[in-house]
Structure 1
């Protein structure tokens, strides 16, 4: 009986698991009541349908509210975000559960967003991430952010806003904005 030998053969290592890509962060910024949360609610399911895992991080200047079905974090979760993080003055929560300690800075949240393909960040106007500026014609504050922030990569407005040479989307074109974000995530 002939027995095979390993002499002269190359041993194969087990395949290495694929390295997880860090998620793409995209900010949705604008002045108060410009439609940021509503746009995010519309974008999340469109991105999920494209096969992307979406998480959200929201910055608020208000105190955290107890869950009542109407908080922005709950709205993000209902839209399909797999995790929501809300940062408030002196407190923070993940998926509706208050976390111990002082609220982390945006850059310190990386371990909490592992597993996401896209992290939509609401607020954090000065964060060093690519952002889409939301403008609403009826907004009492009309000062555009784009001319002063080189990290703004597109403008979404409900009027013919000057986009300073950046891609401009109609605020109702959630499909187009989702496609733009999905392209950044590839």
Structure 2
């Protein structure tokens, strides 16, 4: 079965993470299993200084897995390697009904553009590949060539994503 993916993209502070979380909650409520893939443009660390796993990485371990009764995580240091592609990262995810991708605005996958008045940049994203299927905004959008949703219309946005990806209304 082909992996179902849909993106949530927009400029910094546009509300991507909030919308992603609300969509995860909605699709989970509908009975679907959902994974997320988030792109970060900055240095980030999921490990805290002083923890054993942080010490392992700082000592030079290329990968560190940390496991408990509640969760596990695998950290991979890239070193001199380039950033893995979105497709490479999607291939690493466990099977699920839907993958929501936050960020990756320049990749050519179906996505919704999030626009908020409080965003640092309010200009429309360039969409040379016609991958933006809809816009979710907290204000009126004068000219749009795709459907426009209110940022609060989580059901409507989820329905559009389910239709676009062939997911269906509820899990079987």
TM-score (norm 1): 0.68
Distance across 2 between alignment mates of 1:38 and 1:143: 20
Point out the structure with max Rg over C-alpha. Answer: 1
2:18 alignment counterpart: 38
1:162 maps onto 2:142 in alignment: yes
1:98 maps onto 2:75 in alignment: yes
Matches within 5 A, 1:59-70: 59-66=39-46
Displacement of 1:147 after TM fit? 5.5
Matches within 5 A, 1:139-150: 139-145=119-125, 148-150=128-130
CA, structure 1 residues 163+108, in 2 after alignment: closer, same or farther (shift >3 Å)? farther
Structure 2: gaps spanning 5 or more residues: 49-62, 66-71, 167-172
CA, structure 1 residues 170+146, in 2 after alignment: closer, same or farther (shift >3 Å)? farther
Distance across 2 between alignment mates of 1:130 and 1:166: 12
2:103 alignment counterpart: 123
2:160 alignment counterpart: 180
RMSD (CA atoms):
2.3
Distance across 1 between alignment mates of 2:37 and 2:12: 17
Q: Whose RCO is larger (CA < 8 A, sep 6+)?
A: 2
- Tell me, yes or no, if the aligned pair for 1:153 and 1:166 is still in contact at 8 Å: yes
Displacement of 1:114 after TM fit? 4.0
1:52 alignment counterpart: 32
1:79 alignment counterpart: none
SS state at 2:160 partner: helix
SS state at 1:159 partner: coil
Residues 140-165 of structure 1: CA deviation (Å, up to 9, x unaligned): 31110166451100000000113522
- Tell me, yes or no, if the aligned pair for 1:26 and 1:129 is still in contact at 8 Å: yes
Aligned length: 142
Distance across 1 between alignment mates of 2:153 and 2:129: 23
SS state at 2:100 partner: strand
- Tell me, yes or no, if the aligned pair for 2:13 and 2:118 is still in contact at 8 Å: no
